[in-house]
Amino acid sequence: MVDESMRAALRALPKAELHLHIEGTLEPELALELAERNGVMLPWTSLDELKRQYAFENLQSFLDLYYQLMAVLKTADDFRDLMLAYLKRAAADGVRHAEIFFDPQVHLGNGLDLDTVMDGLLEGLRLGRERYGIGGGLILCIVRDLPVESARHVLELAAPRAADLIGIGLDSAEVGYPPSLFADVFVRARELGLHCVAPAGEEGPAAYVTEALDLLHAERIDHGVHAADDPAVTRRLAEEHIPLTCCPLSNRRLQVVHDLRDLPLRKLIEAGVTVTVNSDDPAYFGGYIGANYEALAEIGFTYDELKALAADSIRASFLPEADKRALLG
Ligand code: HPA
């Protein structure tokens, strides 16, 4: 058991969160409140009924709920409030900098325009910096099981606001939607000056990690735990200094592993791969970033090991070197 002093020490570690979907911070209470405020009909009327939907069997069963609840987000103020609620929690967990995914295609599909979404999220970031001293930025996330044409379209819509973005990423169903589908979208993103990250090896194979490196020029791999299945892929991540943004509680809740001890984090670290700890969709997976660090402490990671992972999260961020040094100092 992690005692109170360890819990406090882990939360006090300065850290960066690099794998966080802002829509995945939509707590069920806020979802119902926004549904009522915005006149959105959901199939569940009570909190208890909604909470019963959170027993996921796999990635897809989670995604079905995640996309359905996003329909309650309608105004720039909703996005601002969602962002602020996350930043308050993250700051309490020692997060000093967050690189945050958002899913514009889904919001466009719900009838919103890109400016409403981005203005709200950026206002939340501005207020979060002011109120909680936490910095951060946005990564435009492409939904990989929508048509590739939709990805191209949303990137062109976002192009005039590229300066408001840190990077581009991917999310949603992995198997059957290989990174190669998005090679030209990522070429365009690089032309716009965006950093490139990509999930691979969450439910998909180690070969998707290789594709994400070769074809998308991913600078970080999100999840990536299946890279450990292939020694050549593991070696490449180490040699090319490509960090992984791992999400232990997500992996357990989505049944990527049954027990956190089955995650190959130590194996990857010992092979020289930079591993970072993140919360992915904390409102859905049973805990924010602090709870993810605690979960690793519970399976035997020491304070010093977790302190090293927290420092690595800052190094693996896209912050300028001087800002990294300031946070690490
Ligand atoms: N995996 C894939 N897509 C996602 C996730 C995830 O854990 N969270 C939000 N979109």
In one-letter notation, the amino acid at residue 248 is: P
Is the torsion defined by CA of 309, 310, 316, 322 positive or negative?
negative
Q: Is residue 4 part of a domain?
A: no
202 is catalytic: yes
How would you class 283 by CB atoms within 10 Å of its CB: exposed for 0-12, middle for 13-18, buried for 19 or more? buried
Q: Is residue 146 part of a domain?
A: yes
Q: How far apart are CA 20 and CA 98, in angstroms?
A: 8
Q: How far apart are CA 256 and CA 228, in angstroms?
A: 13
What is the per-residue pLDDT across 205-216, written as a single tens digit (0 to 9) for each?
999 999 999 999
**5: CA distance to ligand 1 center in Å?**
32
Average pLDDT, the chain: 97
Where do we find the tokens 């006090």?
A: 12
At residue 1, the pLDDT reads 79
Q: Is residue 13 part of a domain?
A: no
At residue 66, the pLDDT reads 97
151: phi then psi, degrees, rounded to nearest 5: -65, -45
**pLDDT for 31 beyond 90:** yes
Buried b (16+ CB within 10 A) or exposed e, 164-193: ebbbbbbbbebeebbbebbeebbeebeebe
Distance from the first to the final alpha carbon of the chain: 30
* Active-site option among 17, 23, 174, 202: 202
| Average pLDDT of span 173-177 | 93
Q: Is residue 12 part of a domain?
A: no
Where do we find the tokens 């890109």?
A: 114
Q: Are 20 and 100 in contact (CB under 8 A)?
A: yes
Query: What are 189's two structure tokens?
Result: 């993103």
**Protein residue with its CA nearest to atom 1 in ligand 1:** 172
Query: What are 84's two structure tokens?
Result: 């602020």
Q: How far apart are CA 290 and CA 89, in angstroms?
A: 9
> How many independent structural domains does the chain possess?
1
**pLDDT for 81 beyond 90:** yes
Q: Is residue 110 part of a domain?
A: yes
The whole domain housing 265 covers 20-328
**171: CA distance to ligand 1 center in Å?**
5
**172: CA distance to ligand 1 center in Å?**
5
| Average pLDDT of span 171-175 | 94
Q: How far apart are CA 329 and CA 325, in angstroms?
A: 6
Is the torsion defined by CA of 136, 292, 49, 53 positive or negative?
positive
Share of the chain above pLDDT 70, in %: 100
Q: Which atom of ligand 1 is nearest to the CA of 21?
A: 9
- Among 62, 107, 257, 285, say which to mutate for ligand 1: greatest number of ligand atoms within 8 Å of CB: 62
Neighbours of 324 (CB within 10 A): 18
What is the per-residue pLDDT across 240-292, written as a single tens digit (0 to 9) for each?
999 999 999 999 999 999 999 999 999 999 999 999 999 999 999 999 999 99
**309: CA distance to ligand 1 center in Å?**
22
Which residues are paired to 245 by β-bridges? 222, 276
- Among 280, 284, 292, say which to mutate for ligand 1: greatest number of ligand atoms within 8 Å of CB: 280
At residue 152, the pLDDT reads 98
At residue 45, the pLDDT reads 84
Pocket of ligand 1 (CB under 6 A): 21, 24, 59, 66, 171-172, 202, 250, 280-281
Q: What's the CA angle centered on 160, arms 73 and 194, to 5 degrees?
A: 85
Q: Is residue 14 part of a domain?
A: no
Question: H-helix or E-strand containing 66?
Answer: helix 59-70
At residue 32, the pLDDT reads 97
Q: Tell me, what CATH number does 183's domain have?
A: 3.20.20.140
Q: Is residue 15 part of a domain?
A: no
147-150: long-range contacts (C-beta < 8 A, 24 or more apart)?
148/181, 148/182, 148/185, 150/105
Q: Is residue 255 part of a domain?
A: yes
What is the per-residue pLDDT across 107-149, written as a single tens digit (0 to 9) for each?
999 999 999 999 999 999 999 999 999 999 999 999 999 999 9
